[in-house]
Chains A and B, each alone.
Chain A
Amino acid sequence: MENKGERDLRLLQLRFIGKILAGFTHESKNYIAIVKESAGLIGDMIQLGEKAGDGSQAYLEIIHSIEEQIEKATDLFRHLNRFSHRMDTELCTFNVNETLEELIALLTRVARQKKIKLEKDFQQDIPSINNNPSLLQLLVFHFLEEQFTRLDKDSSLMLKTSLSNGSVIVQIIAKGNYLEAESEKGLSNNEIDDYIIDQLRGIIVKDNDLISISLPVSLS
């Protein structure tokens, strides 16, 4: 039978996947809607040829816009595909920057809805680590989600990576104002975060504006 930690972890994972899929389908539907309207606009212009005049430049602009939407959608599909495959194996060697990049791409819409900017500052030469990438994404998501609800609009959240004393450090830095009801409370102490960081064999240090996750390069 699952213990409490495992049960909470599964529930959080389901919520995480649900949130990612909701954002993904929303974004995809928007791209499709723009492509549909753009194609419709070309159709309109052909039908109303006389009124539109010599529209070859206008046609090219619309075609360019369609291509742009398809590129954006393809990027999003690639990120979702890689995100899904992160769950294939529990342990593997992976690049932390790429894992976080993926998370940023999939959560950009959620952040935009809250009018919060998601930024990154990655140290490019950090070594790949041997750990559980999906669990790391889940932990970072959990902190981001909490900060999304605490921060006021026009704030920003930065994901920063660096190497320190042989460990890879992931920092989540909040800049801006907190909502009135949240400013006194501070970050919550969730048992599940401790459970996940134990699995990752890392360390978390939490302050109000700064969450620092330290991960060993190798679990062995």
Chain B
Amino acid sequence: MKQIDIRVLVIDDEKDFANTLAQRLKLRNLKVNTAYDGEEALIKLKGEEQDVVVLDLRMPGMHGMEVLQEIKKTYPNIQVIVLTGHGTDKDEEEVKKLGGFGFLNKPADIDTLEYKIKAAFKEKVDRTLSANTFADNNQ
């Protein structure tokens, strides 16, 4: 059976961190891209569809919350996991309110992150399926 590629976009202004994390996720058979700020991420999302986004909060230029808001507005099915070094309880609450899938603190355990990414992908597939079923039933 053909394995489905899970497409992940890692957004973090710390290039070394983003690249190393991307390498680790690739070794776990995920298809990973990186972006080093919010603006670059939104351009990449326009060019190539993604399933899950792993997003830092405090970045130069666009704050992670703005990026999350923009992603959920334009691509509601993409699931966003916030991975931040300095998140507060208030941030976590805000992420939930904006439709984020998960909230992890840096440095996160790689197995936990992989598990969350797969759960987020499943959520995306389920939502897409139910949206399609709804559309079919209304035709």
A contact set with B: CB distance below 8 Å: 26, 29-30, 32-34, 36-38, 40-41, 44-45, 48, 51-52, 62, 65, 68-69, 112-115, 153
Contact = CB atoms under 8 A, between A and B. Distances in A.
A113 B63 CA distance: 9
B133 to A, nearest CB: 38
A15 B11 CA distance: 31
A44 B27 contact: yes
Contacts of B86: 26, 29
7 contacts: A29-B85, A37-B24, A41-B24, A44-B110, A112-B13, A113-B58, A153-B61
Given A30-B14, A30-B85, A48-B27, A41 B60 contact: no
B85 A115 contact: no
Interface residues of B, number: 18
B20 interface: yes
A45 B23 CA distance: 10
Contacts of A36: 107
Nearest 8 CB-CB pairings of A with B: A33-B107, A37-B20, A36-B107, A29-B85, A33-B106, A115-B60, A34-B17, A34-B16
Chain B interface, >50% SS class: loop
Contact of A37 (B13, B21, B60, B85): B21
Contacts of A62: 20
Contacts of B27: 41, 44-45, 48, 51-52
Interface string B69-113: 000000000000000011000000000000000000011001000
Contacts of A112: 13, 60
B17 A33 contact: yes
Interface string B9-37: 00001101100110110010000000000
Contact of B58 (A26, A40, A52, A69): A26
Given A30-B14, A30-B85, A48-B27, A65 B60 contact: no
A13 to B, nearest CB: 23
Contact of A33 (B23, B58, B61, B85): B85
Nearest to B14: A30
A40 B21 CA distance: 9
Given A29-B85, A32-B107, A37 B17 contact: yes
Interface string B110-135: 10000000000000000000000000
Nearest to B59: A113
Contacts of A153: 60-61
Nearest to A44: B27
B24 A65 contact: no
Nearest to B13: A112
Contacts of B59: 113
Nearest to A58: B23
